Structure 1
Amino acid sequence: MRRVEADHLWPDAVADALSRFECAFMQPGRFLTGPGESPGIEIEDARDDLDVALRYLPAGARADLGRLVERIDAEFERRTLPDPGRASEWTAGRWWWWRIRER
């Protein structure tokens, strides 16, 4: 179940997204799965949530979250491989959906 609709986030959406990445990054190697993940709810969804938050936060909070997201993006990119075949209109501008994770 996606919890972002029309660019609206639920309370604690940012904390939840950060927690999902923290859990995923604690796993060794390239295996990246967030807590309680099920098909259709991936850590890429958490990155979508952070992207929405970055668009709507005030400047100071956006800068703070932006620094965290830069670190998340670097680690996510380091632990995944590019998959240009996944690029689509739906993923346009969301590079994190164009990555391959080991399962």
Structure 2
Amino acid sequence: MPRRRPKAVRDEWWRPRRHVVVRRIRGVSARTRAAVRRVEDERMWPGAVADALDRFEGAFGQPGRYLNASTVWQPGLEVEYARDDLEEVMLHLPRGARRDLGRLVARIDDEFERRTLPNPWPVNASTVGGWWWSRIREH
């Protein structure tokens, strides 16, 4: 089998798109940020993880013990959708980046579980989504 030219190999490497403003994710390494940017570029939109983390930060900044369900203005902006976005990214990250971002997500999950209530009515999590969809918030 003939050897491939180095330029041909480099042309297959992924490169981030130019002139796309990407917001920085605090608390993770530069290597994880690069892996997240690649997954966002291939499967989502630029800044999807930063947007999801901002939605959680805004929700957790609410006063009170429990998350308030009436503060959402538009459908699709709930923190459960943000958690779905984080889960989608985590599925496609390499192992090290998944572990690094997973630390942030684990803290978010703990806080979300602390500030929501278990659903008293049985919900099939496989049809709804992740476990976070089976939690309820105050009205």
- Structure 1 and Structure 2 fold alike (TM over 0.5): yes
Which residue of 1 is the match for residue 110 of structure 2?
74
Output the TM-score relative to the length of structure 2.
0.60
Superposition deviation, residue 37 in structure 1: 4.4
Structure-2 separation of matches of 1:80 and 1:49: 19
Find the partner of 2:86 among 36, 50, 53: 50
Output the TM-score relative to the length of structure 1.
0.79
Runs of at least 4 residues of structure 1 off by over 4 A?
none
- Native 8 Å contact 1:25 1:32 kept in 2: no
Q: How does 1:12-91 map to 2 (within 5 A)?
A: 12-29=47-64, 30-32=66-68, 37-85=73-121, 87-88=123-124, 89-91=126-128
Q: Name the one with the larger helix percent.
A: 2
| Structure 1 portions without partners, runs of 5+ | 1-7
- Native 8 Å contact 1:31 1:102 kept in 2: yes
| Structure 2 portions without partners, runs of 5+ | 1-42
Residue-pair matches, total = 94
Structure-2 separation of matches of 1:32 and 1:64: 29
Which one has a bigger Cα radius of gyration? 2
Structure-1 separation of matches of 2:92 and 2:51: 17
Change (3 A) 1:99 1:18: same
Superposition deviation, residue 39 in structure 1: 2.6
Structure-2 separation of matches of 1:36 and 1:78: 19
Find the partner of 1:9 among 28, 32, 44: 44
- Native 8 Å contact 2:117 2:136 kept in 1: yes
User: What percent identity do the matched residue pairs reach?
Assistant: 59
Structure-1 separation of matches of 2:53 and 2:87: 12
Which residue of 1 is the match for residue 35 of structure 2?
none
* Residue 99 in structure 1 maps to residue 116 in structure 2: no
C-alpha RMSD of matched pairs (Å)? 2.1
